[in-house]
Amino acid sequence: MLGRIRGMLIKEFIQVFRDKRTRFLLFGPPVIQMLVFGYAATLEIRHVPTAVLDFDNSQESRDLISRFTASRYFDVRARLNDRRQVGDLIDRGDVIIALQVNSGFAQDLRKGQTAHLQVIVDSSNSNTALIAVGYVNQIASRFSGDYQMERLLHASPMLVSQMPRLVLERRPWFNTDLDSQWFFVPGVIGNLILVVVVSLTAFAVVREREIGTLEQIMVTPIGRLEFILGKTVPFFLIGLLDTTLISLVGTLWFGVPFRGSIGVLTLGAILFILCMLGIGLFISTISMTQQQAMVSGFFFNMPAITFSGFGTPISSMPEVMQWLTYLDPLRYFLEVLRGVYLKGVGLEVLWPQMAAMGIFGAAMLAISVFRFRKSLD
């Protein structure tokens, strides 16, 4: 039995690595995608295209506008004189936000009255709009506080020195600079491993069936279990190697700290890859052609990434969807990755996620093997 399995493994490795292009496709794209997604995936909104209409043209209004131009979050691209120009710029996508300061702005401030700053925002992308409006509120609130403090200093310096103040002191844990890249890079590792392992497993078996060699192999002394092991073990090892490569890129290139144990990360990667092998093998049992396998893989990959909490907080999903996320092994693997990378926690914290992946992987492999045997009968 061991000799036949060894023969299958040698055959698979020769088939995979004999072509230079295939060798590159196994390891090149994951590393390239890691670099691309590591830079592109971010929660931060910077250089928001902005237009300004200053109908007051006072020292106060210019001070307020200067705070937006000096901010890294806004890029003032147009200074307008006619409000009708705003609609055209937003329709063409040249700006996302327009700031309008009406005449009498400074006069209201000097009288101690409320002065209004009108914000016109393109809300077609609600996430960008919400974050940008939040930045506007921060800058406007800081301007208001500074202006009030300056007036008090001129009116009663002694009163200012006796006024109680509330100072917010932030102490972020695990990500002191609040760098969203540290959050996304471990998530990208999980997403890439999911796509690579599922695709390799599903396509390899379906390709044998499509070209007609599966039946030829089945009439040899090789048993069905030996065939399954011979088909999945190479992709298990390739998945581990890809995990190592893109993890090194995330750590060394992007500077994401690795605070945990390599052993815990390795265990989590092994369990997750077993889950993906089960999924890939299951797809191979329901697909007769590589096109069907590709569509079936896409049908699984996209919901798995969405439900994992990679880009959307699970707590923000509807309750029914939150329950569905417990069926997604990528959710548990991302918790393991971020826990090991950023928090440095071990099995005493991550054992529920490990157990969930172990149960899911064992169940999917059992179902897939049963389905595979049945499809051969």
Give the Å distances, CA to CA, from 21 to 26, 30, 88, 178: 9, 14, 49, 40
Closest CA to 115 of 125, 107, 123, 124: 107
Domain 48-162, what fold? Answer: abc type-2 transporter like fold (3.40.1710)
* Amino acid at the residue 166: L
Listed as ranges, residues in the chain with pLDDT below 50 are none
d(CA 13, CA 5): 12
- Strand pairing partners for 118? 100
pLDDT digits (tens, 9 = 90+) for 31-43: 888 888 888 777 7
Tokens of 165: 């103040």
pTM reported for the whole predicted model: 0.81
User: So what's the pLDDT on residue 169?
Assistant: 78
pLDDT digits (tens, 9 = 90+) for 175-228: 877 778 888 888 899 999 998 888 888 887 777 777 666 666 666 666 666 777
User: So what's the pLDDT on residue 41?
Assistant: 74
260, burial (CB in 10 Å: exposed 0-12, middle 13-18, buried 19+):
buried
User: So what's the pLDDT on residue 99?
Assistant: 92
Taking the domains of the chain in order of start, what are their residue ranges? 2-41+179-376, 48-162
With the C-alpha atoms ordered 23, 27, 30, 32, is the resulting torsion angle positive or negative?
negative
d(CA 231, CA 13): 10
User: So what's the pLDDT on residue 376?
Assistant: 55
Tokens of 152: 């008090």
Closest CA to 296 of 358, 376, 205: 205
Cβ–Cβ < 8 Å for 136, 97: yes
User: So what's the pLDDT on residue 371?
Assistant: 76
Closest CA to 48 of 116, 101, 118, 127: 127
178, burial (CB in 10 Å: exposed 0-12, middle 13-18, buried 19+):
exposed
User: So what's the pLDDT on residue 237?
Assistant: 87
* Amino acid at the residue 65: I
Tokens of 180: 């969203």
pLDDT digits (tens, 9 = 90+) for 251-283: 888 888 899 899 999 999 999 999 999 998 888
d(CA 171, CA 164): 22
Closest CA to 369 of 239, 231, 221, 224: 224
- Strand pairing partners for 53? 80, 100
